[in-house]
Chain A
Amino acid sequence: MARRKLQEINAGSMADIAFLLLIFFLVTTTMESNYGVSRKLPPPPDPSFKPPPVKERNILEILINRNDQLMIEDRLASIKEIKDQVIKHVTNFGKDPNYSESPEKAVVNITHDRGTSYKAYITVYNEVLRAYNEVRNKAALEKFGKPFDDLTDAQKQEIRKLYPQIVAEATPKTQ
C-alpha cells in the first residue's frame, strides 16, 4: 500500500475563528477600571466607650450644608481654601493657638447634612486627602529624598505615623 502523504490542515478559517472570539470579547467586556477614594470607617460604637476629650483647637471643623455651601471654622469658605487650611492645621506644631498642637493630634471633622449632594461631599473629601498627600509627600522628600509613592512600605508607614490621617465625620442631624 502506498503511504498517503500527511495532509496539511487548512488554516484559512483561522482568521474567522479569531474574529468570532474577538467580537465575543468586545461585546461581553467593558473597559471600566475601578478608581476611587478609599476610606476606613470607624468601628461600630461601643456603648461603654467614652471618647477621649479632644481640645477645641485640635479640631478643624468643615461643614457642608444642604445647599452645598461650605463653612470652615465658622466662616464661609470656598473649596480652594480647604487644602491650605488643612495643611496649616496639620503642620501647625502648636504655633498658632487656633490650630492643632501637633500632627498626631490634628483632627479634621467633616459634618454634612442629609441633603448635601454626594458630589459636594466627594469634592471636599478629595481636597482634604489632597492636603494630607501633600504634607506626606513633603515629609517623604525631606526624610528620604523621594516622593511618597516611591517609598517602601516600611518608609510609608513611618511617614503615616508622623502625619496620621484623622478625618472624623459627624453623624448628620436629622432634617
Chain B
Amino acid sequence: MSGKFKKKKEGGTPAISTASLPDIVFMLLFFFMVATVMRDTDRKVKVVLPFADQVQKLEKKQLISNIFVGVPIERYQKKFGKEPRIQLNDKFATVNDIQAFILSERNARREELRPLMITSIKADKDVSMGIITDIKEKLREVNALKINYATKKGDVEQNRE
C-alpha cells in the first residue's frame, strides 16, 4: 500500500514540455510559405504605387511581366540621374528596350500561355504620363495589349498627398 501513495520526492514546478514546439513552428512556417511570394528582383527605382479601389487581383504570377518606372534610388542617382527611369528585370532600360523585353518574356512561356500574358506597369505615383504613354505605344507595337496598372488598394483621395 505504501508504494501506491508514495509522495513525490521532488517539489517545484515541472519543466514545460517542448514536444509540441516543432509543430507550432512548422505551422508558422507553412503559413509564411503559403501567404508570401518570393522576392523576385532588386528594385533599382523607387516605386510608390498610387491608390485605386476598382482593382482586380492578378492571380497567376507566371503570366505577368513587370515594368518598373520611377526615380532611381539614391545609390544609382549619380550614374542615372534623378529623372524617372524604366527598370526591366534587374537592369535600367530605355523605352526602346521594351519590345525586346516583351519578346523574351513571351519566349520564356509555353505557347498556350502566351495570349494570356499581362504586362504589369508598376509606376511611381509621381512620374509623368509622358513616359507611360511611350511604354504603352511600344507595347501596342508588339501586340502586348493586356496591361495592368499596379496600384495599392485604397481610396483615391489618398492620391492627393
Interface of A toward B, CB cutoff 8 Å: 11-12, 14-15, 18-19, 21-22, 25-26, 28-44, 79, 112-123, 125-127, 129-130, 133, 171-172
Q: A34-B120, A117-B126 are in contact. Are A122 and B36 (CB under 8 A)?
A: no
Work out how many contacts link A and B, with CB atoms closer than 8 A.
159
Residue pair A119, B150 in contact (C-beta under 8 Å): no
Of the candidate stretches B8-16, B26-34, B88-96, B100-108, the one touching chain A is: B26-34
> In chain B, residues 112-137, which have Cβ atoms closer than 8 Å to a Cβ of chain A?
118, 120, 123-130, 132-133, 136-137
Query: B75: CB under 8 A from chain A?
Result: no
Contact with B54, one of A29, A42, A120, A129 (Cβ below 8 angstroms): A129
Question: Which residue of B28, B52, B140, B143 contacts A37 across the interface (Cβ within 8 Å)?
Answer: B52
Given contacts A15-B25, A35-B58, A36-B150, 9 further A-B contacts (CB under 8 A): A15-B21, A25-B29, A25-B33, A31-B35, A38-B148, A39-B148, A44-B143, A118-B132, A121-B132
Query: Which residues on the A side are within 8 Å of B4 (C-beta)?
Result: none
A130 closest partner in B (C-beta): B54
Q: A15-B22, A25-B29, A29-B37 are in contact. Are A114 and B146 (CB under 8 A)?
A: no
Whether A22 pairs with B52 at a CB distance below 8 angstroms is no
Within 8 Å by CB of A126, from B19, B53, B120, lies B53
Report how far A41 CA is from B140 CA in the complex, Å: 7
When the two chains form their complex, are residues B151 and A122 in contact, meaning their CB atoms are under 8 A apart?
A: yes
> Which DSSP category, helix, strand, loop or mixed, fits chain A's interface?
mixed
- Pairwise interchain contact A126-B54, C-beta atoms closer than 8 A: yes
In this complex, the member of A15, A26, A113 whose beta carbon has the largest number of chain B beta carbons within 10 angstroms is A15
Contact B129 A41 (CB under 8 A): no
- A114-B39 contact given A35-B58, A37-B55, CB 8 Å threshold: no
Q: Show 14 residue pairs from A and B whose CB-CB distance is below 8 angstroms, ordered by the A residue.
A: A11-B22, A25-B29, A26-B32, A28-B38, A35-B152, A37-B55, A38-B146, A116-B128, A118-B126, A118-B128, A125-B52, A126-B151, A129-B54, A172-B130
Q: Shortest CB–CB separation between residue A29 and chain B, in angstroms?
A: 4
Which residues of chain A have C-beta atoms less than 8 A from B21's C-beta?
Answer: 15
Q: Are A79 and B156 in contact (CB under 8 A)?
A: yes
Report the minimal beta-carbon distance from B46 to chain A, rounded to whole angstroms.
13
Contact A32 B37 (CB under 8 A): yes
B139 within 8 A of A: yes
Contact of B125 among A39, A113, A118 (CB under 8 A): A118
For residue B80, CB closer than 8 A to chain A, the reply is: no
A41 and B156 within 8 A (CB): no
Which residues of B have CB within 8 Å of A114? 128-130, 133
With a cutoff of 8 Å between Cβ atoms, the chain A residues found around residue B144 in the complex are 41
